[in-house]
Structure formats: C-alpha cells, structure tokens
Amino acid sequence: MSIIALQAVAIFLAILAFFSLYKAYDGPTAADRVVAINVISTKVAVLIALLAVVTEQEAFIDVALIYAMMGFIATVCVSKYIEKGKLF
Amino acid sequence: MQYIQSVMMILLLLCSAFFFLVGTVGLVRMPDVFTRMHATTKCDTLGAGLALLALMVNRGLHIISVKLLLIIIFIWLTNPTAAHIIAKAEYNKQNANKKEHSSVEKG
Amino acid sequence: MEMKKSWFNKKNICLFTLLLLFWLILSPKLTIEAILVGAIVSSLVVLYSHDIAFVEKEMPLYSLKKLKIFIIFIGHLLVEIVKANIDVALIVLKPAMPIQPAFIRVPMMLKNDVNKVIYANSVTLTPGTLTVDVKEDEFIIHALTDSAAEGMVNSIIEQYVCKLEGEAK
C-alpha cells in the first residue's frame, strides 16, 4: 500500500517537472529560466530520495544529497553570470 | 502501529504533492519573475520537507532517517538563498537598464 | 608554547566535532578504520581552515541561553512557513489572482552577519515577502500584497532576531 503511494507521488513529481521544463523553454527572460531550473533540481532531488526508498537501494540517498548541492551551485553560477556578464 | 504509520505517511505525501502542484501552477500562471519566485520558493521548500518527512516516517529509526534529515536541512537553507541570488541579479540588471535609458533620454 | 595552547580552544573543538559527526553519518559502516580516518581528515581540515570558520564578527558561537531562544524561534518560523504556503495557495488557485506587487525598504537594525542571513532567509519564507537585496543600512524586500507589506513592521520574526542579536553583548 505505502509502496504504491510512493510510486504515485514519484510519477506525479515527474509530470510536474515536465511542466516546469516547459516554463524553462518558454520563459521570456533568463531569470525565469533559472527559477524553473532551480524548481526542477529540487523536485529531482526529492524524486531520487523517493526512488531510493521504493527500490531499497540505500546508496541513492547520498546521490540525492549531492544532487541538491549541485543544483544550488548551478543556480549560483548562472545568476552571477546574469548579473555581471562573467563568472569571477 | 503499522496501520498508523502508513496512514500518516500517506497524509504527508498528499500534502506535499498538493504544495508541489501549487508551486508549479504559480510558476506557470504568475506574471513576472519576482511574483513567480514567491510561489516557487515557499511551496517547493515546504513540499520537499513534507515528502522527505514522509520517508522518515516510513523508515523509522534508521541511519537513512538521519541522512534524510540532513537533506531537509540542506534544502531549507539553500532554497531561500538561491531565490535571493536570482532576485538580486534580476533587480540589479533592471536598475542598470533603467539608468542607461534615462541617461540616453537626457543626452 | 602559546601556539600549541591555542589549537585546543572552543572554536576548533566545535568544528572538529561537527566534521567528525558528518563523516560518521556518511560512512557506510561504523568501524575502527572509519573513525580513525575521519579523525585524521577532520583534524587536517581544522588545521587548514581554523582562521576562516566561526570568526567572531561573522559567527559567534551561541551560548546555551541563546540556543534556547533559537529553538523557540525555529518553532515560530515553522508555523509562519505553513501559514505562508496556505496564503500562496489561496492566491494562486483563485482565477482572478489578487496581487499588488511592490518593493519596500526596511531599515537595518542588525550588526552581526549570521543574524542578517537568518533574518533574510526567514523573511523569504514568511507570508508574501521576498528579500531582494541587502545593502549597508537597509533591506530591499518585494511584497506580493499590500497587507503583507504592512505586516513587515514589527513582526514576530523581527522581535526574535533582535532578541538573538541583543544578548550577544
């Protein structure tokens, strides 16, 4: 029962990630796209954690932690690039 | 006990799915960048927290629960910070554009 | 002699304990080797970065009394976050979307860098407001509705952060 609920939420999150991807394609300015990418990276981190519990692969939890870190670093880099036109 | 555990987990999962849905609807519907960020930051942060909390309820006392707690703390610290960085970049860019425009009109 | 004494102050021991705990959580099995390697690596990191972590101006270590205030503050913050989410859900799901976006400026009353970070992040998570920029003497905040902009003055969050700041002296 609980496994089915976890799988349903995982599928739901994947569908929502595709809607965010549409917004990242459509967004009029660069900042809109960065917001959409940030949303997708949070969703994917939660999705990986859900899959780790569904498939009972405990090592995937570490992957979720690292994925959350990478998403944050990507957001920081792209917004610095938008603001200054260069990274450093 | 098993029954209570799964009922609690499903309730938490439903709440988190609802907040993720609200965040995405806000992302698609809102008119400009700053208002979009209002919807996504708050709803995504709470949704991720509730979903990971549901997983913690499912696992009980286990090393995985500690790791999930670390992920929750990390997401709750970095999500507002990321929103702050994007908002600052966009705000400074708009201000710079406005200044250029006004100087051009004066000149 | 003095150099040797200064390695074992409160700051370094806190940093070492935090790093070792993080290592042990991430390591797959709790063996003697894991603890030994973790201790060596954490002490190397402490040696390398003792002058940039927990600097007094940026991040003083909290005493026990302030830790209590901090925990009560986290409780209030959780209630505010749930309120903020229900608020956003009501606004987004209405067909008309009643929003009046505006920028407001709030004067700065904090000196400590970490308290500034805590205040800015909690303003972002509370109903209808989003921190945009932190200048030398003011916060620039984007408000979603008029009532949210009025609610910024003297809120619960502000009172608690001032309490955290005030007892540092």
DSSP helix/strand/coil, C155: coil
ipTM, 2 dp: 0.87
Token pair in block for residue B40: 């996504």
pTM of the model: 0.85
Rounded to the nearest 5°, which phi and psi values hold at B54? -60, -40
Averaged pLDDT for residues C53-81: 76
Count Cβ–Cβ pairs < 8 Å, chain A vs chain B.
120
Q: Count CA atoms within 13 Å of residue C87 on its CB side.
A: 19
Q: Given pLDDT bands bounded at 50, 70 and 90, which one contains residue C57?
A: low
Q: Quick: pLDDT tens for A13-32.
A: 999 999 999 988 887 888 88
- Closest by CA to C18, choosing from C34, C38, C47, C48, is C38
Would you say C139 and C108 are in contact if contact means Cβ atoms under 8 Å apart?
yes
Q: Given pLDDT bands bounded at 50, 70 and 90, which one contains residue C169?
A: very low
Residue C112 pLDDT greater than 80, yes or no: no
The type of residue at B20 is F
| CA of C43 vs chain B CAs: smallest distance (Å) | 22
Nearest by CB to residue A2, choosing from B23, B37, B58, is B58
Contact B20 A12 (CB under 8 A): yes
Token pair in block for residue A38: 């940030």
Could you state, in order of their start, the residue ranges of all structural domains in chain C? 2-49, 64-166
Which residue would you say has higher pLDDT here, C78 or C58?
C78
Q: Given pLDDT bands bounded at 50, 70 and 90, which one contains residue C104?
A: confident
Q: Which residues contact A56 (CB under 8 A, 6 or more apart)?
A: none
- Could you tell me the CA-to-CA distances from C19 to B71, C23, C24, C56 in Å, in that order? 16, 6, 9, 20
**Helical segments of chain A, H only:** 2-26, 30-55, 60-84
Kindly list the residues of chain B whose beta carbon comes within 8 Å of any beta carbon in chain C: 18-19, 22, 25-26, 29-30, 32, 34-35, 37-39, 41-43, 45-46, 63, 66-67, 70, 77, 80-81, 83-84, 87-88, 91-92
Q: Given pLDDT bands bounded at 50, 70 and 90, which one contains residue B64?
A: confident
Contact C124 B83 (CB under 8 A): yes
Q: Which of A3-12, C94-103, C124-133, C159-168 is predicted with the least confidence, judged by mean pLDDT? A: C159-168
Nearest by CB to residue A42, choosing from B36, B44, B85, is B44
Would you say B42 and B80 are in contact if contact means Cβ atoms under 8 Å apart?
no
**Which residues does chain B have within 8 Å of residue A34's beta carbon, measured at their own beta carbons?**
86
**Which residues does chain C have within 8 Å of residue B32's beta carbon, measured at their own beta carbons?**
101
